[in-house]
Structure 1
Amino acid sequence: MNNSIYPCLWFDTQAKEAAAFYCSVFKDATICSENPFVSIFSISGKKIMGLNGGPLYSINPSVSLFVLCETVAETNAVWDKLINGGQALMPINKYPWSERYGWVKDKYGMTWQISVVYQQGDKQTLSPSMLFTGKNFGRAEEAIHFYTSIFNNSSVNPLIHYPAGDANAGKVMFAECKLNGYNVIIMDGPGEHAYTFNEGVSLVVDCDTQEEIDYYWNKLTEGGEESMCGWLKDKFGVSWQIVPANLGKWMNDPDKGTKVMQAFMKMKKFDIARLEAVAQ
């Protein structure tokens, strides 16, 4: 797990249960660490956080996880497990862009886009997918330029627009961005949607130094807003957590975890030096 950016899924109290479920669904998945607040797991080598945050926020489809499968049989198998107790947002079927694709909301509320891709090469097989809906519709390309200007090792390929003559001409039909080498899918979402970005699914950025924390905090809050405990919202309403890379290690230590948490609960932007002092 070498991705410094990764999704965080907000649960009421079911993070551990959900992480175990997801690790039973996917063939290359494992639990990495657990404490009463956070479960870290990986799918296809990519890190995901499950957070027990209470009932304040709920996951919605504005940020889903897009999974590439090697065969139709694997696509069907993953779908069958995720749909159990959940519901189809787009039925699994053949579509113009995929021989086998479906969008499903699982029993915990998380949404997954499952697609077969035969020649994967070195493609990242699990990626967060952002859908720009409502007042954000038409801002996907602006977001692409914003994010790729902030993160190093960034690129965009492909960037596909709705064609001329279409009601949504010029809007982003599909784009894949590399941010710090980590793949994120971005699309405009035409039509009526009862959801937009919220804290239910956020993106976490692990930082080794205070300079990194300051940089990402200052860049991503431009036009957005600060929140508590390392959380912020960017100008599109996407939630980010800018955190020290050592935070998980501290939180998993029974002697340090409570003290560190008490310290950062009073912070907006994380102060690594203060947290390190508390953790000693």
Structure 2
Amino acid sequence: MVQEVTPFLMFEKDAEKAINFYVSVFKDAKIESIEHWSKDEAGKENTVKRAYFSIGNQGFIALDSPVKHDFSFTPSLSIFVDCSSEEEQSNVFDALSEGGETLMPLRDWGFSKRFAWINDRFGVSWQLNLPF
């Protein structure tokens, strides 16, 4: 039996910047805890060893990997956000798309009032939905 499922975001050096950014974008987000790599550990000193943060009721884990990988984030797995208003959706879209890449611009695509899909400046993929 699965006890809990938590999205895990692996960065290589920007985990703390990303977490602080996400907490500034979403009004109901907060950092639960951040632990940093120390001098004699596997990761680069003062980068994120393990962090917990939440957006609404959804918890996330993030870290700066001590191992260099030949892969990063992909839009085939994205964070889906149901926004509560057009204003909130526009604000989140503007913030997350700055320095990122718009995969589907913010508009009516027929399956919701408004929808957008973007990769943010850290490479994390977000779907922003305004439900009917």
TM-score when scaled to structure 2? 0.83
Identity across the alignment (%): 36
3-state SS in 2 of match to 1:49 = strand
The whole-number CA distance in structure 1 between the counterparts of 2:129 and 2:76 is 18
Aligned pairs (5 A) from 1:77-116: 77-116=91-130
Amino acid at match of 2:35: N
Aligned pairs (5 A) from 1:1-280: 4-36=4-36, 37-53=49-65, 54-56=67-69, 57-117=71-131
3-state SS in 1 of match to 2:96 = helix
3-state SS in 2 of match to 1:23 = helix
3-state SS in 2 of match to 1:35 = strand
The whole-number CA distance in structure 2 between the counterparts of 1:80 and 1:109 is 15
3-state SS in 1 of match to 2:54 = strand
Shift of 1:16: 1.1
Higher relative contact order (CA 8 A, sep 6+): 2
Between stretches 46-55 and 105-114, larger displacement belongs to: 46-55
| Runs of 5+ consecutive residues of structure 1 not aligned to the other structure | 119-280
Shift of 1:58: 0.6
3-state SS in 2 of match to 1:5 = coil
After TM superposition, where is structure 1 displaced by more than 3 Å over at least 4 residues in a row? none
Shift of 1:93: 0.7
What RMSD, in angstroms, separates the aligned Cα atoms of the two structures? Answer: 1.3
Give the structure with the larger helix fraction.
1
The whole-number CA distance in structure 2 between the counterparts of 1:42 and 1:74 is 18
- The number of equivalent residue pairs is 116
Shift of 1:81: 0.4
Amino acid at match of 1:21: F
Cα displacement string for residues 164-203 of structure 1 (whole angstroms, at most 9, x for unaligned residues) = xxxxxxxxxxxxxxxxxxxxxxxxxxxxxxxxxxxxxxxx
Shift of 1:99: 1.3
Shift of 1:55: 3.2
Question: Does the 8 A contact of 1:40 with 1:49 survive in 2?
Answer: yes
Question: Does the 8 A contact of 1:15 with 1:38 survive in 2?
Answer: no
Cα displacement string for residues 105-151 of structure 1 (whole angstroms, at most 9, x for unaligned residues) = 00000000001125xxxxxxxxxxxxxxxxxxxxxxxxxxxxxxxxx
The whole-number CA distance in structure 1 between the counterparts of 2:52 and 2:130 is 26
TM-score when scaled to structure 1? 0.40
